[in-house]
Chains A and B, each alone.
Chain A
Amino acid sequence: MTSATSQSLAVEDFNQRGAAAAPARKFYGETLLELARQDPRIVCLTADLTLSTETDLFRDALPGRFHQVGIAEANMIGLAGGMARSGEIPFVHSFCVFATRRCYDQIAMQVAYPNLPVKIVGVIPGLTTMLGVSHQAIDDVALMRALPNMTAIEPSGPAAVPAAVRAALAHDGPVYLRLKRADGTEAGIVAEEGALPLGRMRVLRTPGEGLLLACGMMVEASLAAAEILAAEGLTVGVADVPTLKPLDPAIAEIATGLRAVVTAENHSIIGGLGSAVAELLMEAGVRTGFRRVGVRDVFAEGGTTPYLFARYGLTAEAIAQAYRDARGGG
């Protein structure tokens, strides 16, 4: 029998059913701590979600630069603004939805307008939680994209997190970092080598007649969709778009002449990657078939991630079908 202590029975995350294992690697927390040891300007703020945001590593190693502010995200953002104005580089942490929508005006006025080096780090993107609609961030990218000066990054998975954190720090300005943690269900993840250049897509599979553009967890689904389509004789490329703002202008070039482009994101189809790509392609005069895969302007509910992704159309098959629709017959 498991001994009943607060350590042995405390759940670190709420993404899956049952006694979730702790992640084998805390890619985010390890990287932040490594960077903070090198850069004394980095300070860490959390709003009662230290374990869930992997900032326990920072708390234990650098307690003098760790600030537990309680369940008060708006206040946390204000603090971060004041610290950044004092020469520090604050990393603030919460679930994606509370790190953005809960404190939007504070981010606009105390972070984005003054263009301060505050790094807003959210975990639990999109529909990846059983905690329900209150905890699901389906509009966070839209909100952050709408703010002048803001950069928005969503790495493709836990292995891509370290490079994303380094890129966020290296950028001298506000950044929203949208992270899906490793949650113990993955095995054998190794951090990706190499940098994450901001504002650049990463072509994972060279386009044939079409292209799938994806971010975050939908990158893996898009690669699977490309396989499905390849089996049908349709050759489509896949690109990971980790920087949602600024969007890579080269997307317009690579899309030119393609039969169809499909975007895929664990986010509303409004305001995120799909919207950004559509805006870019229209203004660049690129004529191509086009579909967006994402949460289709509805609120969801709590559930396991595979259930929710199937229910709300965030699957490889949904992406493949969107591509078939986008390219049309013949």
Chain B
Amino acid sequence: MLDDGRGDRQPARRVRDPAELAGIALRLRRKVIDLVAPTGQGYVQQGLGAADLFAVLYFAELRLDPADQDWVSRDRLLLSTAHNTAIFYATLAERGLVPTDAIADYCKDGSAFEVNASERVGTVIEATCGSLGQGLSVGIGMALAARRRQDGARVYVVLGDGELQEGQVWEAALLAGSLGLDNLCLLIDDNRMQVEGHVDAVVKLEPIAGKFASFGWAQEAVDGHDIPALLAALDRARTTPGRPSCLVVRTLPGKGVPALEGILAHNLKLPDDVAAMARKALAMESHP
């Protein structure tokens, strides 16, 4: 039980067991394939890669109330890489924040569940990002408002590593460090991938953690598929006073489907035979 000033309210059970979280992540990976397959192409690699991170964030870390999504003291998560929706929607549905049957309309005309997440879905999409580089700024605004409310709410922002090429990110990073905003946690989905391929082939980013360190942030690199390590890093971020925290979460595109692992495809073709292969691989993967 976390004593973070929000009293006894604990809207949902926190899953801290790594094996249980791994099981959730596996279900999320299967759902990523199911969501993208009807369209035949989509954000498969990022979704498979970030499944462990999303499972840990939504089932172990965030304080949310599916029955009261507007709860003012909830933790906020902003997915600044708003296109990574297959894993995002799969997670929201698994967590009970959106109806499971509604996300079956993913990417269909008229559906609120668009390729880029928009607030048409509801409050759980805390801001409409899509235009890269904006999520951290919005998160800072929310973190400042939470600091003023003194209700213990925390703000989590997920950025892609390629997104760090947007200048606004560094305006925001500079300010958050200057403000010592310790209710803010930035998670960089470090999958080394952007539209034109490997980030190093476009604009080199390293050292990412070192850049944030120089901006006054607590920072560390984490293996995005080591669930106990993710839990521990988030614990440290939550309890580090006086500084915002940045976790550089190394993820492997396509994680969990051996034939897809490491393939750098911002948008992956997912014809029926590949989807079937992926389903088979994910069904075979063993977990307790």
Contacts and interface: CB of A to CB of B under 8 A. Distances in A.
Interface residues of A, number: 28
Contacts of B34: none
- Per CB-CB distance, the 4 closest pairs between chain A and chain B, nearest first, are A78-B137, A82-B141, A86-B145, A79-B141
Contacts of B128: 109-110, 113-114
Contact of B175 (A70, A77, A80, A110): A70
Given A65-B148, A82-B145, A86-B145, A75 B171 contact: yes
Given A70-B174, A86-B142, A86-B146, A109 B134 contact: yes
Interface in B137-181: 137-146, 148-149, 167-168, 171-172, 174-175, 178
Given A105-B131, A109-B128, A114-B127, A78 B175 contact: no
A202 interface: no
Interface in B172-207: 172, 174-175, 178
14 contacts: A72-B171, A72-B174, A75-B140, A75-B171, A78-B168, A79-B138, A82-B143, A82-B145, A83-B141, A83-B142, A85-B126, A106-B168, A109-B129, A109-B131
B58 to A, nearest CB: 19
B130 A78 contact: no
B131 A64 contact: no
Given A75-B175, A109-B134, 20 more contacts: A64-B148, A70-B171, A70-B175, A72-B168, A72-B171, A74-B137, A74-B167, A75-B140, A78-B137, A78-B140, A79-B140, A79-B144, A82-B144, A82-B145, A86-B72, A86-B149, A106-B168, A109-B130, A109-B131, A114-B119
Interface string A38-82: 000000000000000000000000001101011010111111111
Contacts of B140: 75, 78-79, 82
Contacts of A87: 72, 145
Contacts of B172: 72, 75, 78
A265 interface: no
Contacts of A109: 128-131, 134
Nearest to A79: B141
A90 B145 CA distance: 11
Interface of B: 72, 119, 126-131, 134, 136-146, 148-149, 167-168, 171-172, 174-175, 178
A166 to B, nearest CB: 24
A251 B257 CA distance: 65
Interface string A88-114: 101000000000000001100110011
Contacts of B143: 82
Nearest to B169: A75
